[in-house]
Amino acid sequence: MALKVEAKGGIGGNEWDDEFEYEGVTKIHVRAGKQGIEYIKFEYVKAGQKIIGPIHGVSGLGMTETFEINHSDKEYLLSVEGYYDKSTGVIQSIQFKTNKETSDLMGFNMGTKFSISANRRRIIGFHGFADKNLNSLGAYFIRIPSTKSGMEGGQTTGKGYDHGGRTLAVGTVAGTNFVLQSEGNAIVGFHGRVGSCVDSIGAYYAPFSPSLPAPSPPEKLDAQGGQGGKSWDDGAYQNVKKIYIGQGENGIASVKFEYENDANEVVMGDEHGNKTLLDYEKFELDYPSEYITSVEGCKDKVLGAEAGVITMLKFKTNKRTSPPFGLESASSFVLQKEGHKITGFHGKSSTMLHQIGVHVVRITE
């Protein structure tokens, strides 16, 4: 599941979204002109194949610069920095940082500075706003796995152990002192060799991320609908920000949800079902004052999906009720719990949406 960091920069332009179904970014094209960045274009990797994204902005008389990222050598994009002009709403310059190098500053070093990054995560996709120039830029992030250090101490004695991302105190303090550390990283687990005492020990490192307060325990309500499809679960979050519904000929073809986590970061959920040729219909909440209190739906058995599919969904918040998405049928259901709000979704899907369920937490506001 990808973390969506909202677009930074100026105001204006038309919204664009390359989405996040990629393994990484391999090449970036930037053209700068007199007014600032004229356009930006990205090349991605998906299933081992290069995917060339569209131009965002307009190709003018400026100079195009490129920055390549060696995906095959485990290089990945960490962050973006730049400057934008508040009066024109146009990004003036931009710079990219990977785990191995930093690009040149592309454009003019003037205006208000912005940055796009997320602790212990790397960039796999971009979104933003553009018209005749690039107005703003945002990114999708996924978590960077921890790295494993070598072991210090005896290498052949004792019995090996490896606790991965967990931590555990083993043995007693004795012998020559040594230090395991990696600048800018936190230790998130241990491995090594141990017999009657600790013979050697190594560590797992990951980029430092400050601890976050634990959310109130969520409750998972059973999914409603048909019996077919494969199970999925987005988990529970701080709140739901946006709902996307894709309708098919016989029912709901796909759904996806945009959430906000405890660190006030936007998390874009996966697609559940098959995306249709028609664009998604959207229901956006006025977060943080608005939240979902219940989901109403209908289910039915249709040709090609005799196990049953969801044919209609409708969402009720503390302020309003959405229009119905899809067609009503004789068999209906309601997902809700008194005094609780919905903060996540789960269910079953194949080429259609078969079931939908919710995660709820007690309303404390």
Task: Indicate whether 308 and 340 sit together in one domain.
Answer: yes
Task: Indicate whether 127 and 83 sit together in one domain.
Answer: yes
3-state secondary structure the chain: CEEEEEEEECCCCEEEECCCCCCEEEEEEEEEECCEEEEEEEEEEECCEEEECCCEECCCCCEEEEEECCHHHCCCEEEEEEEEECCCCEEEEEEEEECCCECCCEECCCCEEEEECCCCEEEEEEEEEECCCEEEEEEEEEECCCEECCCEECCCCCEEEECCCCCCCCCCCCCCCCCCCCCCEEEEEEEEEECCCEEEEEEEEEECCCCCCCCCCCEEEEEEECCCCEEEECCCCCEEEEEEEEECCCCEEEEEEEEECCCCCEEECCCEECCCCCCCEEEECCCCCCCEEEEEEEEEEECCEEEEEEEEEEEEECCCECCCEECCCCEEEEEECCCEEEEEEEEEECCCEEEEEEEEEECCC
Boundaries of domain holding 157: 153-165+179-212
pLDDT at position 211 is: 44
Q: Residue 172: inside a domain, yes or no? A: no
Task: Indicate whether 114 and 160 sit together in one domain.
Answer: no
Task: Indicate whether 89 and 51 sit together in one domain.
Answer: yes
Task: Indicate whether 196 and 229 sit together in one domain.
Answer: no
Number of structural domains the chain divides into: 3
Q: Residue 263: inside a domain, yes or no? A: yes
The CATH number assigned to the domain holding 249 equals 2.100.10.30
Q: Residue 238: inside a domain, yes or no? A: yes
Task: Indicate whether 186 and 138 sit together in one domain.
Answer: no
Task: Indicate whether 245 and 267 sit together in one domain.
Answer: yes
Task: Indicate whether 78 and 57 sit together in one domain.
Answer: yes
Task: Indicate whether 47 and 79 sit together in one domain.
Answer: yes
Task: Indicate whether 233 and 121 sit together in one domain.
Answer: no
Q: Residue 170: inside a domain, yes or no? A: no
Q: Residue 56: inside a domain, yes or no? A: yes
pTM score above 0.85: no
List per-block mean pLDDT (blocks of 10 residues) for the chain, which spans 365 residues.
Answer: 89 94 96 94 95 92 90 93 93 95 91 89 96 96 80 67 54 69 77 76 71 64 91 92 92 93 84 85 92 95 80 96 90 94 95 94 84
Q: Residue 148: inside a domain, yes or no? A: no
Task: Indicate whether 15 and 51 sit together in one domain.
Answer: yes
Q: Residue 42: inside a domain, yes or no? A: yes
Q: Residue 123: inside a domain, yes or no? A: yes
Task: Indicate whether 109 and 52 sit together in one domain.
Answer: yes
pLDDT at position 215 is: 47
Please name the amino acid found at residue 37.
I
